[in-house]
Amino acid sequence: MRLAKTPLYGQTISAISVAPPIYFYWLSADAGLAAAKLSNDGIAQMVAKRPERLRGMATLPMQDPDAAVAELERAVREHKFRAVELGTSIEGRPLADPKFRKVLKTIEQLGCFVHGFNARPEAKTKTRSSPRDLLRRFYFDSLLHDPVAVRHLINRVGADRVVIGTDHPFDMAPDNPVPEIDAIPQLSASEREYVCELTALELLGED
């Protein structure tokens, strides 16, 4: 289904990952590791069928940081994954908890891109820089349901921090998001190239 739809988008490469309910952070450490391995191996099998079209994003058993580090290293070593999807709350603990620093450090060392999910209110008081300055350290997708809103986002962070968003296979986006990109007011050819192609290629470690 994914490959059947992506030609409509004009995409040549798509990143695939599990949906947030499949993080399984509430499971025991052993069960969480088994679930993460099953998910990552399944994604790798899909990628292997069409390696020219698909890239995988790993999920990790964050309830056990040591196991999460080992699974990340395995996913990078065996499956060549270059991205990770993480929730920002693991059974009530924020991702900023010291318990998870070894995982984040390993992600940094391996040069993986992190796809976060959800947020914590403490960010309002715990940051050392202006939120506007921090925005350039994040990446955003274009799924805002309003081309004017995407224009504002590009103005704030730059087109090199925005990727085209689909939320496939869920139904919150149109079947073809490219016309939504083309509807962005005053979109330059360079900005369009970044949103539709170059930003994602950089995140996924593509040359």
Go through the domains of the chain in sequence order and give each one's CATH number. Answer: 1-126 (3.20.20.140), 130-207 (no CATH)
Average pLDDT for 115-132 = 61
Are residues 55 and 83 in contact, defined by beta-carbon separation less than 8 angstroms?
yes
Distance CA 59, CA 115 (A): 10
Which range (95-99, 164-168, 182-186) has the least confidence? 164-168
By the 8 A CB rule, do 72 and 86 touch?
no
Name the average pLDDT for the chain: 85
pLDDT band at 13 (very low <50, low <70, confident <90, very high): confident
Tell me, what's the pLDDT at 23?
93
pLDDT of residue 111: 84
With b for 16 or more beta-carbon neighbours within 10 A and e for fewer, the 94-122 pattern comes to bbeeeebeebbebbeebebbbbeeeeeee
Chain segment 58-74, per-residue pLDDT in tens:
999 999 999 999 999 99
Phi, psi torsion values for 5, nearest 5 degrees: -90, -30
Asked if residue 198 lies in contact with residue 158, where contact means CB atoms within 8 angstroms, the answer is no
pLDDT above 90: residue 185: yes
Q: What's the pLDDT at 84?
A: 92
Model pLDDT, residue 1: 45
pLDDT at 115 over 80: no
pTM: 0.65
pLDDT band at 112 (very low <50, low <70, confident <90, very high): confident
How many distinct helices (H) and strands (E) make up the chain?
A: 10, 8
Q: pLDDT tens across 51-60, in order? A: 888 889 999 9
Q: Are the CB atoms for 180 and 187 separated by under 8 Å? A: no
